Amino acid sequence: MTRRVLSIATLYPNAANPSFGRFVAQQMEALAARGDWAVTVISPIGLPPVAAGRYAALARSASDGIEGGVDVRRPRFPLVPSLSARWNPTLIARAVLPLARKLHAQAAFDLIDAQFFYPDGPAAAKIARAVGLPLSIKARGADIHHWGAQGFARRRMLDAAGQAAGLLAVSQALKADMAALGMPSNRIAVHYTGLDRAAFHPRERRAARAEIAAALGIPADGALLATVGALIPRKGQALVLRALAELPTDVRLALAGSGEDEAMLRRLAAELGLTERVHFLGSVGHEHLPALLTAADVMVLPAASEGLANAWIEALGCGTPIVIAEAGGAREVVTAPAAGRIVARDASAIAAAVRELLADPPGQEAVAAMAARFSWEANAAALADYYATLLA
């Protein structure tokens, strides 16, 4: 028997942002590929009254279609950038509920699901109540650590958690943080991320360096560090730049990501005399990311908070050790020296860990073994089993 899930996901790729929430799409596509769950995703697109600049492209991306075996719908909802956060769950629910009712009438769903705790969780809770279905909500990290610290959001998150038949966390550490926030621990299951093994696997590093030299313009000489993540304060790219300044001059850094910190980071690189050694790549597409991570000698991401970063697992899958901070599920991933190092959020500590790994690099196959338990197939199987328990 095929069951049907309706997932509410503000974190989902679209034509304007094809890398945004790519891991959510991979999860839902892997679930749909099993055949025992039919998957519909409603990914609401928030737009201001006048959709200019980047919002113009976002408006054009509000289209529906079958994507990777998933029925994806993208209704619009109104927002005021940086101001309407407290109202977004209500605005999303108001825009999504008519579509959810229509789809449910055409072919009944068994479960309502939210892929991020805020604003998705409270919005999905309203929809689940309206159509009389059980609710599941997944936490991924920033939704708990950032929004959980905002009183208005925390209240709504706790209400939604109280309604939910089940909750998911991407790491044991995040489960503990959710329980500390007041969520029912006995209803929280740990659901680890997946890994696209066809893309992220060990390859010859020199060949990967040549590939990214041609595709991304990064010279193939010297050692290479990579930092993959949005250019925002909590990811810690400024610490990586300061660490780079303590490393030999033949070490380069590739920053993959975009965000509000880019101008500041460019200024800092110039101040530290690193302009020629730091390569700002913007958002790197899925077609180049495996080569970049394989080409890197170390992936460095000293984030202040995480659930369990996909970039950690993708780097390990490519055979590249990681240097990360004590955040989220770090100790659930770095379980042996071959995986890399967990360090203080301090430039000198980061530099020291990188020096160790450059001086005595672990073998690519030994590093890749640290990610052996992660796959999208395993992720989908665990998700299907969890969903089934909510309907038993």
**Kind of pairing, strands 3-8 and 111-114?**
parallel
Give percent above pLDDT 90 in the chain. 92
Express each pLDDT in 117-147 by its tens digit. 999 999 999 999 999 999 999 999 989 999 9
pLDDT reported for residue 1: 85
What homologous superfamily does CATH list for 205-369?
Answer: Glycogen Phosphorylase B; (3.40.50.2000)
CB 118 within 8 A of CB 89: yes
pLDDT reported for residue 83: 84
pLDDT reported for residue 285: 86
pLDDT reported for residue 92: 97
Q: Is 270 exposed, middle or buried (0-12, 13-18, 19+ CB in 10 A)?
A: exposed
The secondary element (H helix, E strand) that includes residue 258 is: none
Local confidence band at 81 (pLDDT 50, 70, 90 cut-offs): confident
Distance CA 323, CA 234 (A): 15
Assess whether pLDDT exceeds 90 at residue 293: yes
pLDDT reported for residue 50: 83
Q: How much is the average pLDDT of 85-94? A: 96
Q: Which of 277, 240, 243 is nearest to 261 (CA)?
A: 240
Q: How much is the average pLDDT of 306-327? A: 96
CB 69 within 8 A of CB 32: yes
For the chain, residues classed under CATH 3.40.50.2000 are: 3-194+375-391, 205-369
Give percent above pLDDT 70 in the chain. 100
pLDDT reported for residue 17: 87
Express each pLDDT in 40-69 by its tens digit. 999 999 999 887 788 888 889 889 999 999
Token digits for 325?
């901070």
| Average confidence score pLDDT of the chain | 96
Distance CA 153, CA 34 (A): 35
pLDDT reported for residue 96: 98
CB 79 within 8 A of CB 49: no
pLDDT reported for residue 82: 79
Token digits for 17?
């942002």
pLDDT reported for residue 121: 98
pLDDT reported for residue 352: 98
Fold of 3-194+375-391: Rossmann fold (3.40.50)
Assess whether pLDDT exceeds 90 at residue 39: yes
Which has more confidence, 174 or 81? Answer: 174
Q: How much is the average pLDDT of 84-111? A: 97
Q: How much is the average pLDDT of 250-268? A: 96
Q: How much is the average pLDDT of 170-182? A: 97
pLDDT reported for residue 286: 86
Q: How many CB atoms are closer than 10 A to CB 97?
A: 17
pLDDT reported for residue 42: 98
Q: How much is the average pLDDT of 352-362? A: 98
Q: How much is the average pLDDT of 260-280? A: 97
pLDDT reported for residue 255: 98
What's this model's pTM, rounded to 2 decimal places?
Answer: 0.93
The secondary element (H helix, E strand) that includes residue 8 is: strand 3-8
Local confidence band at 336 (pLDDT 50, 70, 90 cut-offs): very high
Q: How much is the average pLDDT of 14-30? A: 93
